[in-house]
Amino acid sequence: MGRYVLRRLLQMIPVFIGTTLLIFLMVHALGDPIAARFGDKAPDPVVAAQIRAEFNLDKPLWLQYVLYFKGIFTGDFGTAFTGEPVIDLMARSWPVTLKLGLTAFVIEAVVGIALGLVSGLRRGRLTDTVAMAFTLIVISIPVFVLGFTLQYLLGVKWAVIRPTVSYGAPLNELILPGLVLASVSLAYVTRLTRTSVAENLRADYVRTAVAKGLPRRRVVTQHLLRNSLIPVVTFLGTDLGALMGGALVTETIFNIQGVGYNLMQGVRRQESATVVGFVTVLVIVYLVANLLVDLLYAVLDPRIRYA
């Protein structure tokens, strides 16, 4: 097990180098960041040259990348055009996105599994039909429509919550954005859990559990649910990374200055330091989440052993 984890962590190194390089090249391909910064006006050549020198833009691309990479190891992720070190920007926005993403994650896991379990146990009955119709509706509504509608109704019309999230993103204000961010995944988790539960309900080992005279509650929680959750956990794990990176729409609607927001700014301004920095961390988050899923998978299903 320990060797497996070590191997997986080592595998992250080439992935890390590869993605940073790829993003670096992509941002470069977007065009001249100086021109982008000055918009329609032609930049003053002296100022432009100064900026180029400051951000290493006057050097060949490969050297820019090497210099950037060297910086990372000293904790220097470069500087945004605003003059703020990218590391500070990340330190400011990651906690916010992490909070939002985890809120969404908890909502989709808890509500999705509970709803899916009830549906699966009562397949074909009213509760199930209603829950399935509900998930279909959620999946088919675009996130920004749902977000703006809920924001308008709850935040403006009935004014039960603040329409936007205040600075520092306190947890209680993140519940609605979290729900919006979680919505589509929540619907998938519900459907996945339902299918898995309904399938396992017919399994021989469930019949054995009943034949042992176990109370229904125990049959469901100890026997049925643990087996049914195996595919759900896989989905949840891969979704964790997606929630962090995909929070852009939700962050924009509720004015949350998180990773998505800053990444968008970076892309607009063609600041490679910002974009590469944020994306790199996103990739790492994604890889770590995947590793955790695989490990959790082995805990849930003893038939899987990693060596």
- Under rule CB under 8 A, how many of the chain's residues touch another protein? 23
* Burial per residue of 88-102, b for 16 or more beta-carbon CB atoms within 10 angstroms, e otherwise: ebbeebbebbbbbbb
- CB within 8 Å of 58: residues ≥ 6 apart: 49, 52
Count of Cβ atoms closer than 10 Å to residue 186 Cβ? 25
> Binding of another protein at residue 227 (CB under 8 A)?
yes
**238 is a site residue for another protein (CB under 8 A):** no
Asked if 126 touches another protein (CB under 8 A), the answer is no
Judged by beta carbon, residue 192 or residue 244, the one nearer another protein is 192
Question: Quick check: 40 binds another protein (CB under 8 A)?
Answer: no
What are the helix and strand counts (H, E) for the chain? 14, 0
Q: Is 303 left (phi over 0), alpha (psi -120 to 50) or beta?
A: alpha
The reply to whether 300 sits near another protein by the rule CB under 8 A is yes
User: Cα–Cα distance between 259 and 82 in angstroms, integer?
Assistant: 17
Q: Does 132 bind another protein (CB under 8 A)?
A: no
DSSP, residue by residue, 177-230: HHHHHHHHHHHHHHHHHHHHHHHHHTSHHHHHHHHTT--HHHIIIIIIIHHHHH
The nearest distance, CB 117 to another protein, in angstroms, is 17
The 170-209 site mask, x for binding another protein (CB under 8 A), equals --------------------------------xxxx-xxx
Q: Which of 7, 70, 157, 218 binds another protein (CB under 8 A)?
A: 218
Judged by CB under 8 A, which stretch of 55-63, 91-99, 140-148, 221-229 contacts another protein?
221-229
Q: Please classify residue 122 by burial: count the beta carbons closer than 10 Å to its beta carbon, then call 0-12 exposed, 13-18 middle and 19+ buried.
A: middle
- Minimum distance, C-beta of residue 131 to another protein, in the bound complex (Å): 20
For residues 57 and 203, which CB has a smaller minimum distance to another protein in the complex?
203
Helical H runs in 122-142?
A: 126-140
Please identify, using beta-carbon distances, which residue of 89 and 229 lies nearer to another protein.
229
Q: Are 182 and 143 in contact (CB under 8 A)?
A: no
Is 215 an interacting residue with respect to another protein (CB under 8 A)? yes
- Residue 268 interacts with another protein (CB under 8 A): yes or no: no
| Residue 51 found at the interface with another protein (CB under 8 A) | no
Q: Measured between alpha carbons, how far apart are the two ends of the chain, in Å? A: 6
Q: Which residues contact 104 (CB under 8 A, 6 or more apart)?
A: 177, 178, 179, 181, 182, 185, 243, 247
Note whether 295 binds another protein by CB under 8 A. Answer: no
Contact region with another protein (CB under 8 A), list: 39-47, 168-176, 182-190, 215-223: 215-223
Does residue number 233 form part of the binding site for another protein (CB under 8 A)? no
> Which positions from 137 to 176 touch another protein by CB under 8 A, shown as an x/- string?
----------------------------------------
Contacting positions for another protein (CB under 8 A): 202-205, 207-215, 218, 222-223, 226-227, 230, 300-303
